[in-house]
Chain A
Amino acid sequence: MLTEIITAYNEAVFDTDRDRALEIIHQAVENGISPEDIVFQVVIPAMELMIKSISEDFDANLAQHFMASQIAAQVTDEMVAKFQKSPEIIGTVVIGTSHGDMHTLGKRIVSGCLRSLMIEVVDLGVNVAPEKFVDEALAHNSPIIAISSMMMHTARSELGCTKVREILKERNLEDKIKIVVGGAPYRWDPNLYKTVQADAWAEDGITAGKVIKDLMTGMRK
């Protein structure tokens, strides 16, 4: 039965038909599929599939990406609330948009993906000061600072990622906290993350989840 649900849900996501997608999920829950299976067997693989299908021409499919992510976030939120026991958290990430950047959408998509991958997310909001990124990471014992920038000038800003790096250096925190960046400018220039001295970048929510998981595991070794 799960296979049929997966096929039907994938089709609905591909068509970005939110009503149909929710209907399929609700029907599945009624038929006894566990909320855990829905998130891990249906929603996340569908998101991965969608991202794979559009990654060749990402900029041509941003609208689809936003619409599909909204569906995934909605289903995940609904299902996580129904989980039998609170899921095991891999770790915590603090996330925000860089100084001067008011674009919340990319950050929201990434947060949704991370949560569905059982990474706890502390959302610092938009236009976040570099000091705040570091202070909050310490306060929440988070090994990862995730910075979203949707414009070239906020990605490269002196008060953006570069400054966060400077503070980590000053406070001797570079072993404890890593920086991951994302957003449109990093796709235009895949080497930009090095220029702004981030540890890694990710081009979409699912990749961000993998990159962050890898970084966390690497740091524990």
Chain B
Amino acid sequence: MPALTLIEKNRKMQLEFKTGTSILNLLCAAEIKVSSACTGCGFCGLCRVKILHGEASALTAVEKSKLSSQQIQQGMRLACQAKALSDLAISIENPVNVLKWKKLHSVNKTAVNSQDQYGIAFDLGTTHLRLSLWNISRHCRVLAWTAFNPQFRFGADVLTRLTAAQNSVSDALELSFLIKQSIKNALQLIAKLPLSIAQIQQLLVVGNTPMLALLSHKNFQQLLDPKYWTQAVDCQIDDVSEWQTFLGLQPQTLIASAPPLAGFVGSDLLAGILATGLTRSSDCALLIDFGTNSELALWDGTRLWISSVPGGPAFEGAGISCGIPAATGAIYRISPKPDNYWSCQVIGNVAAVGLCGSALVDAIAHLLANGELKKNGRFKNTASNEYQLSLTPIHSFALKKQDIDIFQRAKAATGAAQQQLFKAAGLTADKLSRVCVCGAFGQFLDVKNAQLIGLLPQIAAEKIELYENTALTGCELLLSSPQAFALFKQIKVQAQIVNMAHALNFDESFVDNLYLQPLLLEK
């Protein structure tokens, strides 16, 4: 039988195969995780592999549209489209290290001892997991970790995961188990610290409602039905003792999810509102958590207008030919130099692998400002379908027409949602005294560039605050203080849910916001 050789940094692996199956299927069968967000229909373009030697099937039409001419020249293929025909050696462009927790900072040694009480805060995001060990006695963090959500291989967005869970009992169990296993791995890291597991009083989870439902293995079917989007959905963890045993926690350790407000308003958003203190004064404030589903909360001084809008995974770098999530190797800032090359900043100070969402914003804003791109999303040179962002004469990333298009749609969804929220609250942008931007995408944003293309309201830059982990911070507050819990409950009472699906003229507002231009917020 012919063999597929997978060449990675530190290892080489051989898989024997029968011809006729896609490379992605071969890798999946061997339990090798590859980024993929569309269950292998070629739509997301994430499962790129490089053919090092050997023969694969001819390029498909989908690949021609998803890969740049440069990528094709380099021997790049989509693993879901390409079939191995003979002995083949490949490398994976976006490997997924599913169970690898990375420290967010160094350990706060003064907060570790054998007497204090601890809690575990867990932010269960669609793309990222964040977990921290919180010293309840001293109200401070010991250590926090982040990892990619291993459910990624069931799809990048919540709907594909919910559908997978609905269609297959074993997939539903697997989706829940993957997260439990991740928590267990984090606990093993915690066990290495000089404290006892018996000191952990509580494990508290915040997350969007679908994620919490999949975790508790409960009511996830409801979330595919629009009538539950604005209703409360029970996703409390029932089998606590089973969890305690599995995780190796004490029988007295509390394990719970902070309850979400409705199908599309998760407890992660509520925790973010808590962490940013959005409702603490009578000043108007807006919170936006950009993501595959972007969540928005507008505080008018007495009421909280909340909504959620799906824009696709473009902000997370998925579906973009040169895009990757905001992690090591991602360009997060990019700007043109006078010599026509681009200078960039890379997360982790390593060689650039691709652009994450914030760099995409920079590139689009600069191309728009220098006239290379028109505000409708077409390149000035209409014959061209891509623009080369050259870092050096030999290192460049191609920004394709379709990348801009996908981004325009994500941006238009959040722009239209902001307009609808302001309309519902009867506010205009000039009343805003704060804008809190959250999420992996938000934390690296260049505010001016984001305003230029209509992502954020046109208000003074110093009123715009960028946050990294608001959901985790909010979760920690909930662990340590009864006041925080009371405020959390109050936020739920003050909230008015605005369902964009029923918003008048949302579609028109969406189309208006496809144009790359500053955002207009009127009553």
Contact = CB atoms under 8 A, between A and B. Distances in A.
Contacts of B41: 188-189
A67 B224 contact: no
A108 B511 CA distance: 12
Interface stretch (A58-66, A169-177, A197-205): A58-66
A104 B507 contact: yes
Contact of A66 (B65, B378, B400, B514): B514
B221 to A, nearest CB: 11
B469 interface: no
A153 B159 contact: yes
B360 to A, nearest CB: 15
B43 interface: yes
B381 interface: no
A153 B508 contact: no
B385 A60 contact: yes
Contacts of B508: 70
B160 A152 contact: yes
Interface residues of A, number: 25
B60 to A, nearest CB: 13
Interface centre among A59, A104, A108, A189, by most chain B C-beta atoms within 10 angstroms, is A59
Interface string A52-89: 00000101111110110010000000000000000000
A153 B402 contact: no
A152 B226 contact: no
A17 B65 CA distance: 26
Given A59-B65, A104-B507, A152-B160, A64 B376 contact: yes
Contact of A152 (B163, B225, B409, B510): B163
A126 B229 CA distance: 14
A219 B192 CA distance: 74
A167 to B, nearest CB: 20
Interface string A95-123: 00000101011001000000000000000
Contact of B514 (A67, A100, A189): A67
B93 interface: no
B412 interface: yes
A17 B515 CA distance: 10
A151 interface: yes
Contacts of A67: 376, 511, 514-515
Contacts of B169: none
B507 A59 contact: no
Contacts of A59: 43, 65, 402, 405
Contacts of B224: 100, 153
Contacts of A104: 501, 506-507
Contacts of B506: 104
A117 B338 CA distance: 52
Given A61-B401, A153-B163, A15 B376 contact: yes
B518 interface: no
A16 B376 contact: yes
A26 B514 CA distance: 25
A151 B409 contact: no
A15 B375 CA distance: 9
A127 interface: yes
Contacts of A189: 41
Interface of B: 41, 43, 65, 159-160, 162-163, 166, 224-226, 374, 376-378, 385, 400-402, 404-405, 408-409, 412, 501, 506-508, 510-511, 514-515
27 contacts: A15-B376, A15-B378, A59-B43, A59-B405, A60-B65, A60-B385, A61-B401, A63-B405, A63-B409, A63-B514, A64-B377, A66-B514, A67-B376, A67-B514, A70-B511, A100-B226, A102-B501, A104-B501, A105-B507, A105-B510, A105-B511, A126-B501, A152-B160, A152-B163, A153-B160, A153-B162, A188-B41
